[in-house]
Amino acid sequence: MDILKKSLKEAFTLAELMKAAIFEDVGKITVKEIPKPVVKSDEVLVRLKTCAICTWEQRVYQGINKVAFPFIGGHEEAGVIVEIGNDIDRKLWSVGDRVVVGLLTSCGECTNCRIGEEGSCENFSYENFVGGLNISGMGGFSEYLSVPISKLFKIKGNLPYEIACLTEPLSCVVHSIERAQIRLGENVVVVGAGIMGMFHAVLARQQGARVIVIEPNENRITKLHELGFEEVIDPKSVNSVDVVKELTDGRGADVVLNTVGISSLAEESIAMAALYGRVILYSSYHPDEPITISPNTLHRRMTKLMGSANSNTRDFETALTLLNDGIIKPEPFIAGTVKLDDIEHGIKTAIDPNKYRIIVEL
């Protein structure tokens, strides 16, 4: 046994190391050195450059989202290929290619993955293994990831890494907007103006819709006005459903995009929908409290109530095109950057509702 321990210790010492931020418990994240991943023949090694701190990781830190510790989070990431496995086609992929990494939680083999719905993978799991220590997680808060090329999307031109890493959250909003099928001139209400609500508002406006936003936070209201959104409802002082009806001549909204995980707002979203209205419940709900829905109201008004979660390969391609071509400019939604060693400070900052995305520089 002593000989085995000695050999493992020597192997660890000889292995190339990398830094990674490890969630060790609720409210505890530590930056440590762990073995760098070894590239498999059908994978490439990506040197990550940036990873944004998503609300999901914030909830892991707060103990709202449950994971098995230790855990390496981070799934909004961008970097550069530094090594290529032997079975990879060098005509398609090269060392030096700048890439976004995505869809790591999908297996690629189940029925949903095979029909292009990787976001609804039947084996959806956060239990990937990062580095050489079999620590689970998506791995974006580490310096290197070894991934199959099916999980990579190429960055064009000089798009900065801190912008490119927002492809993943934008892709989820693309998925939501596609489900809503917004048409020219429609009245669209966006509930909430966090970064995901902002992305919804910007994309809905790109679709040629009139966009009304419901948001109580004064700093976010100011940001909305700066971005040219003039019709903003502050629910602290008025009844949102009544005001939406007033603004739409009593009809209601053709599309309601609810990006806030509060069950009562899901009920309000249905109440403010017009005849044939489409209601998207985008956010995940913590806690997941049931709501009351009148079947007759849905029946008579022919309301379409839908959920939207995650994204697929097509959504990733669309989102990265929007960023690569400058069609969507997310700079106003970046609240700052932190180094990997300061990630805990970054997470605490990101939790502040007055902040948008914090980017970790690796």
The string of DSSP codes covering 100-156 is: EE--TT--S-SHHHHTT-GGG-TT--S--EETTTTEES--TTBSEEEEEGGGEEEPP
3-class SS of residue 280: strand
Domain boundaries, the chain: 11-166+330-361, 173-307
pLDDT of residue 286: 85
Angle made by CA atoms 112, 118, 120, in degrees to the nearest 5 = 65
Give 10-residue mean pLDDT values along the chain (362 residues). 43 73 97 94 96 96 93 96 96 97 92 94 78 79 94 95 98 98 98 98 98 97 97 97 98 98 95 98 91 94 97 97 96 97 97 95 97
Q: How far is CA 275 from CA 1, 98, 297, 358, in A?
A: 72, 46, 10, 40
pLDDT of residue 258: 98
Q: Which CATH class is domain 173-307?
A: alpha beta
Q: How far is CA 94 from CA 83, 99, 102, 104, 132, in A?
A: 8, 11, 18, 21, 24
- Fold type of domain 11-166+330-361: Quinone Oxidoreductase; Chain A, domain 1 (3.90.180)
Task: Give the Cα separation of 190 and 233 in Å (integer).
Answer: 10
Identity of residue 149 = I
Strand pairing of 144-148 and 232-233?
unpaired
The pTM of the full predicted model, rounded to 2 decimals, is 0.93
**Contact between 334 and 76 (Cβ < 8 Å):** no
Place of tokens 């990630």: 343
Please list, in sequence order, all residues whose beta carbon lies within 8 angstroms of the beta carbon of residue 223, skipping any fewer than 6 positions away.
193, 198, 332
pLDDT of residue 125: 81
Quick check: bond before 169 cis, omega within 30? no
